[in-house]
Structure formats: structure tokens, C-alpha cells
Structure 1
Amino acid sequence: MSTVPHQPGLTPRFCFNQTALRDFLRLSRSATDDSIAQNLNNLVAPGTSTVFSPASTSSRLPRPDAQRGIESAACSAFKDRVLFPAWQSRSDVLSYCASVATSEDPSDPNLIVRQQEDARARKRVVNERLDPYSGRYFPREARTEVLAALLRNENMVENIVRARTWRVIGERCDNGGHEWEDALDSWNRHMNGNRP
């Protein structure tokens, strides 16, 4: 089982560094969600279900549904120790960066350049009869706007990845018939109730 990356220090600088933010999300997803089938296969102890016999390899039959599952204790331990902490770590990063994206950014390095470009655009004389493209002006986006767009995309990806992972877990383990959101909320309530 691959190791889940630790949550980075949450600072505005981390959020505005798109490479670091995307790398953390990518590595965390690849360690848990993208390799969910392998992670679940690691929970099954080989050779514990039946005694090996050479005759068992002569034909291929699908396993009965009762044998496809993984022990509920192993599944619960995986969800509680690996899956939900990874999901919560990514949720914390996305939530923090969303708050950064909606806050004022007085240290934006492109603020002065954008203000100058806006002033020049307002002073420009536009005659679309002579030049149909003279009316075009595409202002630069503030880095908070760029971050907000990135976070919208990453939240959509996160929802898709979690739904797929939860579906695979439901096929191999007992997920209690809950949606992944409910299971994560329940785990959070349980973890917060056990903290000193």
C-alpha cells in the first residue's frame, strides 16, 4: 500500500503555488483513490479462505458473492486509518485555499500592472469601424480569481474521484448503504468526539 502524503502547511503562498497545490492533490489521490482496487486487495490475506489444491487451478469459476467481500474489520480499519484521513486532508486544503481565493490579496504582485493596463484601456479611443478589434480588451485575472477557478475544477474532480472510490468500496466492503459524504461526516463526528 502506498503512503499518503502529509498535509502541507496551509499558507496563502502554498495555495497560490498551483504546482504545489496540484501535486499534493494528485499524490494524495494516487495513493488512495486511484489505487483503491490494489489497496483493497492488500487487505485480503492470501490462502486463508481455502486449502490449496492443484485441482483448484484446472478450471476458472467466479467466486460466490459471499467470498468476494473483505472482512469488515479490515475494511473499517482501512477507511478509518487511510481513506477518510486522506479525504479530510484534501478537504482541509481545498477549504483553506477557497478562503484564500475569496479574501483580499494586497500582496498580489500583478496588482499594479493590472491597474496600469486598466487605466490605459479606459483612455484608449475605440473606433470599431476602422479597426473591429480595437474594442477588445482582456484584463488580466487577479491571482485570487485564477485560484478560485482552479479550486472549482479540483472540487469537481474530487467529487468524481470520491464517488468512484466509494462505489468500489461498496462492491468489496460493506459501506452501510451510505453515500461517501455521510460516511465522511460520520467519521469526522466520531474523530472529533474522541479528541481530548
Structure 2
Amino acid sequence: MSNLGSNGSSESVESVTIAPNALFQPQYCHDSGRIRAFLRLSRIATDDTIRQHLNEIKQRDCESYLVRKIFPQWEARSELIDYCFKYSKNLRNSTSQGKAVPKAVNLPSSNVQENETSIEEQFDLRTDPYAYKSHQQQLESQFTHCDMIDNWIKNEQSVEQILRQETIKVFNDKCYQKDWTKDIQKFR
């Protein structure tokens, strides 16, 4: 979300320093468009334009730039990705618990009649013979959503890793008075 100033140079990237709290909602983990837009804008504001930003600052300001501009962006992106990772993990766990045949698996008795009764008690198959099947389809759908969330999360984590490696290289090239790798690894 880097704005061009009147002189054509990039202005401060402070407008995209933290992930908006509104994005920390499960609905945005399922439909990741808004989160991915934030990630893209944050990357444009920092990592994608790091060379230009480092050309504009003095050597002595490298550490300040790293701490005030780069690290907050990385942290905001990581928090948002981690939020959806944890959400997906919790959704998968609760779906897994719901997928087990109710009470039938956990009963020590091997009486099949008892197991069938517990299924019928939870799903009144006399009034709705498709209730159990519908429930299973819903759980399968939830697993599919978990897989979709996990896939975009893995993709974004890979992008983050690549961008951070490139940022470290550029930072070490432009701010060569110090090896920044250790400082950057402390952040991780």
C-alpha cells in the first residue's frame, strides 16, 4: 500500500504496519481473498521494494529501518497466517471428533444392536432417513475446507520464506557494514 509522493518516490510504509483486526475471523480463512490482498500489499510495501527503500536511507539507518519497517510487516503477516493455521487445525480436530460414529466407536460393548441404537438416537432415521448421510457429507465438506485452507497457508508460508531470504540478501548487500543474518534469524 505504498503511496507515491509528489516527487514520485515512495512515501512511508507505515499505513500497512499491522494486520487489521477485522481480518482475524474464520470467514476470511475460508475465503482468503482479503487476507491475501493484505499479504500482497504488505509485501509490496516492504520486501518487493526493499532495494528502493534502502537506496533512500543512509547506511547508519539500516538497523532502524529493519526494526521499524521490515520486522513489523513480517510479524503482522506471520500472525495472520498463523491465525488461519490454528483455525484450520482446530476445525480439523473438531471435524475429526464429529466424524467418528457417535458413541459406537467408544463403547466397550461389541453389541451391534447397541451401536445401531445410538446412531438412531442421535439421528432420528425414522423421520429423516438421510440425516446421518447428510451429517457425514457435512463433515466431508468441512474436511475439504480444511484442505483448502491448509493449501493456501502452505503456499503463503513458502512465499514468506522465499521473500525473507531475498530480503536478507538485499539487506546484506545494501547495508554491508554488518551481517544482518543473525539479527533477522532472531526475529524468526
Which TM-score applies when normalising by structure 2? Answer: 0.61
Higher helix share: 2
State the alpha-carbon separation in 2 of the partners of residues 87 and 32 from structure 1: 9
Q: Which residues of structure 1 form unaligned runs of 5+?
A: 44-69, 120-138, 189-196
**Any conservation in 1 of the 2:172–2:180 contact (CA below 8 Å)?**
no
CA RMSD of aligned residues (A): 2.9
| Alignment partner, residue 82 of structure 1 | 69
1:174/1:42 CA distance change after superposition, 3 Å: same
Give how far 1:12 is off. 1.4
TM-score, length-scaled by structure 1: 0.59
Query: Residues 33, 118 of structure 1: CA spacing in aligned structure 2 closer, same or farther, 3 A cutoff?
Result: same
Equivalent residues, number: 135
Q: Please name the residue that 2:47 is paired with.
A: 33
Distance in 2, Cα, partners of 1:116 & 1:175? 64
Which 5+ residue runs of structure 2 have no aligned equivalent? Answer: 1-10, 96-129
From 29, 38, 47, the equivalent of 1:15 is 29
CA displacement at 1:78 relative to structure 2:
0.5
One-letter amino acid of the counterpart of residue 183, structure 1:
D
5 Å-filtered alignment, 1:1-196, equals 1-3=11-13, 4-5=15-16, 6-9=18-21, 10-43=24-57, 70-72=58-60, 74-104=61-91, 116=134, 142-174=144-176, 176-179=178-181, 182-184=182-184, 186-187=186-187
CA separation of 1:146/1:11 partners in 2, compared to 1, >3 Å: closer, same or farther? same
Partner amino acid for 1:168? V
Distance 2:12 2:146 in 1: 33
Q: Percent identity?
A: 28
Aligned partner of 2:29: which letter? C
Q: Which one scores higher on RCO, CA 8 angstroms, separation ≥ 6?
A: 1
